[in-house]
Structure formats: C-alpha cells, structure tokens
C-alpha cells in the first residue's frame, strides 16, 4: 500500500511520523511524507503535491490550525477527492474535525482518526461516510515522561529551587502572543498575592515567524518578575513543563502534556483570541469543559487563576480530573497501531 502523508503544523506532523514508523515496521507499505513540523512546506511544489496524491492508495492528512497553514493539505486532499483516491484525516487535539476549512471534504472522506471516544458520534455526523476511529494521539503516550532531570533544567535556566516557575507558551501570530506581556504583568501582582518569588519563562512557538531573540525585550524591560526566554529546540517543552509550577497556554496540546505531568494548566483566551478559536470550530474549549484546565479571559481572571494554582492545586478538582482523564500509560504504541490497523482496511 502506498500512503501519502501531509501536514504543516507540528502536532499532526509528529503523529504522522509515528504512523510512518509503524507502517514501515510492518513492511509491505511505501510511505511518502510531506511533514512541515511547523515550518512551511516550501520544498514541495503544487505539481509535486498533486503527483504524490495521485500516486497514492490513500492520502492521510493533518488538519492544521488555520486555512492558510492548511493550504497544502487542502490541495492534496482535493486532488485525491477529485480523482477518486481514498483519503482521511488525522486529528491531533479535541474538536479538530470541526475546522471549517475542511468542510468540502467531509462527505467523501474515508477515514477520520479522533482523539477521544466521546467525539465519535458527533464526528460521524459531520463525516457521514468515514470510518471514524477513536485512536487517540500517539504522541500523548510520551507526555508523562520528561527527558531531562528537573534540577538540570533549572540549572540551565538559572532558576533557584525556591522560585515558582510560570511557563507561558505562545503561538504563531500576534493575537496569540499577547499572552507574553499579559502573563508578565499579571505575575507581578501574583507575587504579592502568594508572597513567593516567581519567574516567568517564555517559550516561543517553533512556528512563530518572529525570531525568538526579539522576545528578549520582555526580559530587558520587565521589573518584576524575572523573565527568561527559551528558544525553540534548546530545551524540550516537555522538560520546561516538568520544572514549571503552572502552565499558561493558548489552544494547544501542551495543556494535555501538562495535565499528564500533573501540572496546573490555564488556557488564556483574551477576547480577540477567543474569537479566533471560535472561527476554527474549537469553542467551547474541551479541556476546560472536562475540568482538566482553567480558562482565563482577562488579566484579572488570570491573576486569580494563577494564585489559586500556585497555592491550592494539589487538592484541586483540576488535579483529580487530570488523574482520571489521563491515567499513567502502561503500554506505548497503542494509538499508532490503531491507526495502522484501520488503514489496513482501505
């Protein structure tokens, strides 16, 4: 079986890498992958994408986070649909299948892989002819295990053991990246609330077109708290989460990663970012509905949620729900095998 894979965003690219490895390990499959891992797919022309789609037995596509970022995925899927070639979609996060820029391809899709069992019924309505499989996200299986010792990461960051670490992770556009300045301003007040020294660590997204060094201005001009900027790829985000006392994040799988590590999560959706999430079909944000994370919409709410997280997380409903929804993984590779088993039925 020839499988053509395509994804622009980081998360679906990582999933498809796992699926590719599993298919290749099984033998008898040829995998042709166009995976951006958050970077533009500039190495692939329109003609080459079409050719790879036309030569496939199935096209397996991510569902990237904006219509602009998904243009190559849309091209590949449209080519497959117009020529009667089976195609399907990989979801990397809750409600991914609702993204409106993939609406024209719902009816004829043959496969849809979602991250949770309770999404299947609704997804089946939207993708009426697809085999909808609750595979889970193969990458989530690794979220429980940091790769570096906690003390080593703190040493690399120059953070003392007594300081509380607030990790703020941005996105790929200015609307999302308001999270940096807002978090810094708020944590100045939180230090007064909890009477504990705090450090804000800023982790720019690898797909952010702004160079990470440009965010050093926050460290330069912020009086309190101490601000550190970590360039993408220097320290794995999983390890930054492991040394953090709370994560402030946008609509991201990193909230799941923090939940698996039993770290409090605050999704910061100010008014403009909330509208962006609504337009993508991701509202209401499911991790908040599931009570595995808090939602802050204003700086005032963010200050309150940060203080509560730093003082009372251990006995919180959030902690209990994280343990219930994401129990410790006892076997890895299950999700990738589910996806490959379903592809075998093409």
pLDDT digits (tens, 9 = 90+) for 267-288: 999 999 999 999 888 889 999 9
Band of residue 265 on the pLDDT scale cut at 50, 70, 90 = very high
Q: Which of 68, 4, 77 is nearest to 35 (CA)?
A: 4
The pLDDT score that the predictor gives to residue 344 is 84
CB 129 within 8 A of CB 110: yes
Distance of alpha carbon 327 from alpha carbon 145, whole angstroms: 13
The pLDDT score that the predictor gives to residue 137 is 96
The pLDDT score that the predictor gives to residue 242 is 95
* Helix, strand, coil abundance in the chain, percent, nearest 5: 45, 15, 40
Mean pLDDT of 220-247: 92
The pLDDT score that the predictor gives to residue 346 is 57
Specify the pairing of strand 294-296 against strand 226-229: unpaired
The pLDDT score that the predictor gives to residue 225 is 72
Mean pLDDT of 227-234: 92
Mean residue pLDDT of the chain comes to 95
Please indicate whether the domains covering 2-141+331-343 and 150-325 agree at the CATH topology level. yes
The pLDDT score that the predictor gives to residue 18 is 97
In whole angstroms, how far apart are CA 328 and each of 14, 86, 141, 251, 293? 21, 36, 9, 23, 18
The pLDDT score that the predictor gives to residue 317 is 97
> What's the CATH number of domain 150-325, 3.30.70.1400, 2.130.10.10, 3.40.960.10, 3.40.50.2000?
3.40.50.2000
Mean pLDDT of 330-334: 93
Q: Which residue has the higher pLDDT, 128 or 39?
A: 128
Give the tens place of pLDDT for each residue, 127-146. 999 999 999 999 999 999 99
Mean pLDDT of 87-91: 98
Omega within 30 of 0 (cis) for the link into 225: yes
pTM: 0.86
Question: How is domain 2-141+331-343 classified at the architecture level of CATH?
Answer: 3-Layer(aba) Sandwich (3.40)
The pLDDT score that the predictor gives to residue 65 is 85
Give the tens place of pLDDT for each residue, 152-205. 999 999 999 899 999 999 999 999 999 999 999 999 999 988 898 999 999 999
The pLDDT score that the predictor gives to residue 17 is 98
The pLDDT score that the predictor gives to residue 207 is 85
Question: How many other CB atoms are found less than 10 A from the CB of residue 66?
Answer: 16
Question: What length is written for the chain?
Answer: 346
Distance of alpha carbon 35 from alpha carbon 39, whole angstroms: 9
User: Is residue 228 pLDDT above 60, yes or no?
Assistant: yes
User: Is residue 345 pLDDT above 90, yes or no?
Assistant: no
User: Is residue 215 pLDDT above 80, yes or no?
Assistant: yes
Give the tens place of pLDDT for each residue, 304-314. 999 999 999 99
Mean pLDDT of 95-121: 96
Q: Where are the domains of the chain?
A: 2-141+331-343, 150-325
Using alpha carbons only, how large is the chain's radius of gyration in Å? 20
């Amino acid at each position: 079986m020839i499988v053509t894979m395509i994804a622009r965003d980081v998360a679906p690219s990582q999933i498809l890498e796992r699926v590719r490895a599993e298919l290749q390990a099984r033998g008898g499959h040829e995998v042709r992958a166009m995976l951006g891992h958050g970077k533009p797919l500039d190495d692939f022309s329109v003609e080459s994408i079409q050719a790879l789609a036309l030569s496939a037995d199935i096209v397996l596509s991510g569902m990237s986070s904006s219509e602009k970022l998904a243009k190559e995925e849309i091209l590949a899927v449209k080519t497959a649909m117009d020529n009667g070639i089976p195609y399907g979609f990989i979801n990397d996060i809750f409600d991914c299948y609702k993204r409106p820029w993939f609406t024209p391809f719902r009816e004829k899709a043959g496969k849809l892989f979602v991250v949770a069992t309770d999404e299947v019924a609704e997804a089946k309505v939207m993708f009426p002819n697809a085999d909808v499989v609750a595979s889970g996200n193969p990458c989530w299986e690794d979220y429980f295990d940091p790769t570096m010792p906690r003390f080593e990461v703190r040493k690399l960051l120059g953070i003392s053991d007594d300081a509380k670490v607030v990790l703020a992770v941005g996105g790929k556009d200015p609307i999302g990246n308001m999270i940096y300045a807002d978090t810094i301003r708020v944590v100045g007040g939180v230090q007064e609330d909890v009477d504990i020294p705090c450090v804000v660590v800023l982790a720019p997204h690898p797909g952010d077109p702004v160079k990470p060094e440009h965010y050093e201005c926050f460290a330069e001009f912020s009086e309190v708290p101490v601000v550190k900027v970590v360039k993408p790829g220097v320290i794995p985000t999983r390890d930054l989460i492991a040394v953090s006392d709370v994560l402030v994040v946008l609509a991201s799988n990193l909230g799941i990663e923090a939940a698996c590590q039993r770290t409090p999560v605050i999704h910061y959706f100010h008014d403009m970012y909330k509208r962006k999430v609504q337009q993508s079909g991701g509202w209401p944000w499911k991790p908040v509905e599931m009570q595995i994370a808090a939602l802050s919409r204003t700086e005032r709410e963010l200050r309150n949620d940060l203080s509560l997280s730093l003082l009372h997380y251990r006995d919180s409903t959030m902690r209990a729900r994280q343990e219930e929804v994401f129990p410790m993984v006892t076997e890895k590779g299950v999700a990738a095998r589910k996806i490959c088993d379903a592809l075998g039925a093409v």
